[in-house]
Structure 1
C-alpha cells in the first residue's frame, strides 16, 4: 500500500504508542485515538518533531462508547479523505479467576477487548466496503489459542473471540482482494499492562521496542495471520493446540 494513513485505536501507551512510532518512522500519516488526550498530544508532539513530513491527527475515544467509535473512525476518514489501514488494538488485561468475585473486572475485559473490537471493525469495514479497499489489522494474542487459567481466563476468551471475528470478516472479503484483513497474534511483549507479571507466567518475553517493530513489520506485510515474533510462538501454538489441558496449565 506504500506510504499511507494508519489509524491506531488505543494509541496512548503500550503497543499502540510503540506502533505509532514505528509507522511514523516509515513515513505514514497517522490517526491516533485513545482515552487519554494528554498522552496522545505528547506522542503527537514527539513524532512531529522527529518526523516533520508526516501528518498526525489525534482524537479522544473510549472504545466502550460504541456510537463514539463510529464517529471517530468516520472523522478520520474526513480528515484524510480516505482510510488506508485501521489497527484494532485497544484492550485491557489482567482479570480474576472465574467465581472469585471478579465478575465486574472480567466483564470489562470482555466488553473492552471483544465487543468494542466488534464496534471498531464495523466502523472500519463500513468505510472499506464503500471504498472497495483498505486493510483491517486486528490485534489478538497467542493466548487466544487455548483457554488460560486464573486471571487470564477472561482475557484469553476475549482474544479468542477477536481472532474468530477477524477470520469471519476475512472470509467475507475473499472475493474482494483490495480489502485485506489480518489477525496478529503477539506473544509476550513488555508493556505497561504486563510490566509486573511474574517471569514464570510470561515465557519468551521480548522488550516493547523490538515487539512493536516486529508487529509493525508484520502488519505492513498484510498477512492473513501472523505470530509476533514468529519464533517460538508459531510452532509453540501448533503444540499448544494439541497438548492435554493439564500440560498447558503447567506451562502457563
Structure 2
C-alpha cells in the first residue's frame, strides 16, 4: 500500500464548508441532513429561523463532528444576501460548496391579479440566487476553488402553462448558471445545475398531478450524489425526466399550447 493510500485512510474524506439556502424544508432540509450526516461544516438559512434551529439540533445529534450554524434569510431581499452569506462564510472559515436552493412557486395565472405573486417568484428563485452567488463571489475568487450549485427544475425545459413565472425563473436560473460556468472556471470554481422532476416537497404538494413522484429523501439523496460527483448538470431522477425533457423541447408549439390549464 503506497503512502497516499495510507494518508487518505487516516485523514478520511475532505471536510467541506457548505452553505445551503432554503434549508427549512423539502430538498434543502434533506440536503442539510445528508451533509450533516457526512460530518461536513454547515451553514443553513431560511426565512423560518425556529425550524432551522430544530434541524441544527437534529444534525448535532448525529455526533459527526461537523459545525452547524444558521441564520434567518429571505433571499428575495437582495441586500440581505450580501449581509448574511459572507458572515456565514467567515464563521465557517470559508466556503467550499454553496447550494442555492431557496425557491417558491405560485398558482396565479393570466386574468388574475397575479403580478405581485409572479414578481415574488422571480425575486426569490432568480434574483435571490444571483444575489447569493454574487455575495460569495469574492471568497470563491480569492481561494480559487469551490463549487456553486443551483437548483433549477424540469420546468425550465419549456414554458408550462399555469406556471409561467416559475418556468421563467427556472429557465433563467439554468441559463445564468450555464453562462457563469464559463466565467468562473478560470478561478478553479465548478458550477452544477440540478433539474429536479416531481420530488415530494411543499412547493408542489398542492398540485393536482405530480407524475413520477419520488420522496424528498430519495430525491435529495440522488441530488447529493450528483453534486458530490461534480456533474455540470443533471436531471433528477434521470429516468424518465431526461427523456421527457427531450420530448418537451421538441413538441411543436401548436401541440404544446393544448396542455394549458382547463
Q: TM-score range by the shorter chain?
A: over 0.9
CA contact (8 A) 2:193 2:232 kept: yes
User: Alignment RMSD, CA only?
Assistant: 1.6
User: What secondary structure does 2:20 align onto?
Assistant: strand
User: Which residue in the other structure is 1:115 paired with?
Assistant: 127
Q: Runs in 1 of length 4+ with deviation above 3 angstroms?
A: 246-252
Q: Alignment partner for residue 172 of structure 2, among 161, 173, 176?
A: 161
In the alignment, which residue of structure 2 is the partner of 1:205? 213
Counterparts of 1:126 and 1:160, CA distance in 2: 26
Consecutive unaligned residues in structure 1, runs of 5 or more: none
The partner residue of 2:203 within 188, 193, 214 is 193
Distance (Å, rounded) in 1 between the aligned partners of 2:140 and 2:110: 38
- Specify the alignment match of 2:93 in structure 1: 81
Report the Cα distance in structure 2 between the residues aligned to 1:51 and 1:158, rounded to whole angstroms: 38
Partner Cα distance (2:254, 2:117) in 1: 26
TM-score norm. by structure 1 comes to 0.93
221-230 vs 154-163, which moves further? 221-230
SS of the residue corresponding to residue 237 of structure 1 reads helix
Q: Tell me, what secondary structure is at the counterpart of 2:98?
A: strand
Aligned to 1:133: 145
Q: What CA deviation, in whole Å up to 9, does each residue of 1:47-98 have, x standing for no partner?
A: 1012341110101111122222012111122112111000001111123113
Alignment of 1:37 onto 2:24: no
Aligned length: 248
1:196 CA displacement: 2.2
Q: Report the TM-score when normalising by structure 2.
A: 0.90
Q: How has the CA–CA distance of structure 1 residues 20 and 250 changed in structure 2, closer, same or farther, with 3 Å as cutoff? A: farther
Report the Cα distance in structure 1 between the residues aligned to 2:258 and 2:15, rounded to whole angstroms.
45
Q: 8 Å contact 1:95–1:154 — kept in the other structure?
A: no
- Distance in 1 (CA, whole Å) between partners of 2:63 and 2:201 is 24
Distance change (3 Å), C-alpha of 1:129 and 1:99:
farther
Structure 2 distance, partners of 1:48, 1:251, is 46
